[in-house]
């Protein structure tokens, strides 16, 4: 073996070549060794693929730092061990789903075999399904946990593993860290029991689909509007993912009869042949859908990512141009529609609430306040929104919620972001706008006229390696120690530090506590609130070598004709804030 590899990498390679791994795996490793593929060997074996607090994600291939039968197996054996420790003497039940990625069905079956080998009852979807349906299934079937094999919207080389608890939410404290500990205790392939027990594996499918779709139908507020606008021209793309299994069904169930599927992207395919990244946040991934919309003069474009938990949308503006709506805009529109509809129906009693993350647009909080509805802020990640729903269950009623990264939830039947239900609701609110002689873009403009035009910019700085990680920490330390006295001509008035959960009034020096719980715990995030209502949030990424700055600005919009001019001014203000803070 080449001497260019470090000792730990060599040791890991040797373990895989001599241990109880299958011959095909060993042959692939030996081929890399024989061909002197040091870079690939190093990347594949220099460490073990980390199982974090929500699961794991990585490139597929042989090796300790890759997604494969053995790393997925170790994760599942550790998860099994924790479930058995936590629930002694109980018949434990787990639900498993998978997306359209290469090897996803294989990994899902491996997980089913390992759980069943450990005496755990498994409900395994017989074919690919959206992640939100997995969340629903856990509660519907009374499972103790669940998992979905997916890498969400990552590039095609990746796959992943998301772990869920009995409320249908991704695992949170203390279970998340406890599962990590058990997974890390699996130190040998011999610790993994791959010998599945067929008697403990039940295949599920259409019968669960029907129950899940009923909850989406239940979310609908104005079925009479849909009946009048049943010919609303919708373009939908599943971007080769799981959405094709249920989004068209959900739209049909609500009564939409003119849904045009982007056929070139309709077939599930883990190679994602028509896109660079299978992510509806990317303009390129939406191109085919927008082109079809232009051809047929559609009213709405919607597209879901591979595991159908995020949705992107596009609509025509007054100039006849198709524009993509960002996550803040769509989250706001959904809440704007829901609040108005609940108020009109006389359903607002003072016990309703909305939840959003701290980096999501503040227009949502403003709209909630105007209707007497509580708006809870949580840390970034839908598991924190799910935690609020769990804590308030039976006391307050959840209307909906969302985050800036294209994830939304309507109602509480699911406890994760749900692109299937969101597609249905986006179609409904578009139909509502059309029923009132408006486009979805007009509806957006109306919301801004009533509540101010809110615009959000994201500045993401990549800092790779050990030096980059240290630089990010230093940037956060500097910001805490040297708060600016003026940003884009406005004075900071409040600083929120989520690391020590405090809010400081910069005028009086008064410090108050940010209550822990309800989706809130210590996190390395700082927010500056400026006198003019602008907000700047600094947050190191937990999964990438990046530090992200979220900037929110707003201004009145007196007239729809001023939309473009106001947007340009807000964008200029974000640039000014970026420059003043030296974010390059």
Burial zone of 31 (CB within 10 Å; 0-12 exposed, 13-18 middle, 19+ buried): exposed
Residues 164, 145 contacting (CB under 8 angstroms):
yes
Containing H/E element for 6? none
Give the CA count within 13 Å in the CB-facing half-sphere of 325. 29
- The tokens 């949170």 sit on which residue? 172
Helix H or strand E segment including 220: none
103 three-state secondary structure? coil
152 is catalytic: yes
The answer to whether 526 and 537 have CB atoms below 8 angstroms apart is yes
Interatomic CA distance for residues 197 and 337, integer angstroms: 49
- Give how far Cα 506 sits from Cα of 82, 130, 358, 500, 565, Å: 46, 46, 20, 16, 33
Cβ contact 40:9 at 8 Å: no
- The neighbouring-strand residues paired with 546 are 462
Instruction: For residue 377, list its beta bridge partners.
Output: 356
Residue 165: CB partners within 8 Å, gap ≥ 6? 138, 144, 145, 171, 172, 175
| DSSP-derived secondary structure for 231-247 | T--EEEE-TTSGGGGTH
Q: 3-class DSSP state for residue 121?
A: strand
The SS3 of residue 338 is helix
Assess contact for 403 and 417: CB atoms under 8 A: yes
Q: Of 152, 169, 422, 537, which residue is the catalytic one?
A: 152
* Residue 561: count of CB within 10 angstroms of its CB: 10
Compute CA distances 279 → 155, 275, 330, 409, 441, whole Å: 9, 9, 16, 18, 22
- From 336, 355, 446, 433, select the one nearest 396 (Cα to Cα): 355
Asked whether the beta carbons of 68 and 75 are under 8 A apart, the reply is no
**Catalytic sites, residue numbers:** 152
């Amino acid at each position: 073996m080449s001497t260019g590899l470090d000792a730990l990498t060599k040791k890991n390679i040797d373990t895989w070549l001599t241990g109880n791994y299958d011959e095909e795996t060993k042959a692939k490793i030996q081929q890399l060794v024989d061909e002197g593929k040091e870079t690939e060997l190093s990347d594949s074996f220099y460490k073990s693929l980390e199982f974090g607090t929500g699961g794991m994600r990585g490139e597929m291939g042989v090796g300790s730092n890759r997604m494969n039968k053995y790393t997925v197996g170790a994760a599942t054996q550790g998860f099994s061990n924790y479930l058995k420790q936590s629930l002694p003497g109980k018949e434990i039940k787990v639900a498993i789903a998978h997306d359209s990625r290469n090897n996803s069905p294989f990994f899902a079956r491996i997980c089913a075999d390992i759980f069943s080998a450990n005496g755990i009852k498994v409900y395994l979807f017989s074919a690919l399904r959206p992640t939100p349906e997995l969340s629903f299934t856990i509660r519907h079937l009374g499972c103790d946990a669940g998992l979905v094999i997916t890498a969400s919207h990552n590039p095609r080389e990746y796959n992943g593993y998301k772990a869920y608890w009995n409320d249908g939410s991704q695992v949170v404290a203390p279970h998340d860290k406890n599962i990590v500990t058990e997974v890390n205790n699996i130190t040998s392939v011999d610790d993994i029991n791959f010998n599945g027990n067929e008697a403990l594996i039940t295949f599920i499918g259409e019968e669960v689909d029907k129950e899940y779709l009923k909850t989406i139908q239940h979310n609908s507020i104005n079925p009479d509007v849909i009946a009048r606008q049943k010919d609303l021209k919708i373009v939908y793309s599943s971007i080769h993912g799981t959405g094709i299994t249920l989004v068209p069904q959900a739209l049909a169930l609500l009564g939409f009869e003119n849904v045009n599927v982007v056929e070139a992207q309709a077939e599930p395919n883990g190679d994602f042949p028509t896109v660079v990244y299978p992510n509806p946040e990317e303009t390129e991934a939406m191109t085919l859908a927008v082109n079809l919309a232009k051809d047929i003069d559609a009213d709405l474009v919607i597209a879901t990512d591979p595991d159908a938990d995020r949705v992107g949308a596009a609509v025509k503006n007054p100039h006849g141009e198709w524009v993509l709506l960002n996550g803040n805009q769509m989250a706001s529109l959904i809440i704007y529609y829901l609040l108005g509809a609940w108020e009109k129906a006389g359903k607002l009693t003072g016990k309703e609430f909305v939840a959003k993350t701290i980096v999501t647009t503040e227009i949502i909080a403003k709209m909630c306040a105007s209707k007497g509805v509580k708006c809870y802020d949580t840390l970034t990640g839908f598991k924190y929104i799910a935690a609020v729903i769990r804590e308030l269950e039976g006391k307050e009623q959840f209307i909906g919620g969302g985050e800036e990264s294209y994830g939304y939830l309507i109602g509480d039947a699911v406890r994760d972001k749900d692109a299937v239900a969101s597609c249905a609701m986006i179609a409904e609110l578009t139909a509502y706008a059309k029923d009132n002689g408006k486009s979805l873009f007009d509806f957006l403009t109306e919301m801004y006229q009533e509540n101010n035009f809110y615009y959000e910019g994201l500045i993401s700085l990549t800092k790779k390696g050990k030096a980059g990680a240290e630089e990010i920490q230093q940037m956060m330390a500097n910001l805490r120690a040297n708060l600016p006295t003026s940003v884009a001509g406005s004075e900071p008035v409040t600083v929120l530090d989520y690391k020590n959960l405090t809010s400081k009034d910069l005028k009086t020096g008064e410090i108050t506590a940010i209550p822990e719980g309800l989706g809130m715990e210590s996190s390395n995030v700082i927010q500056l609130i400026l006198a003019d209502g602008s907000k700047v949030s600094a947050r190191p990424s937990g999964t990438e070598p990046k530090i992200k700055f979220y900037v929110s600005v707003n201004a009145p919009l007196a007239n729809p004709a001023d939309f473009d001019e106001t947007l340009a001014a807000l964008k200029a203000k974000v640039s000014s804030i970026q420059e003043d803070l030296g974010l390059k």
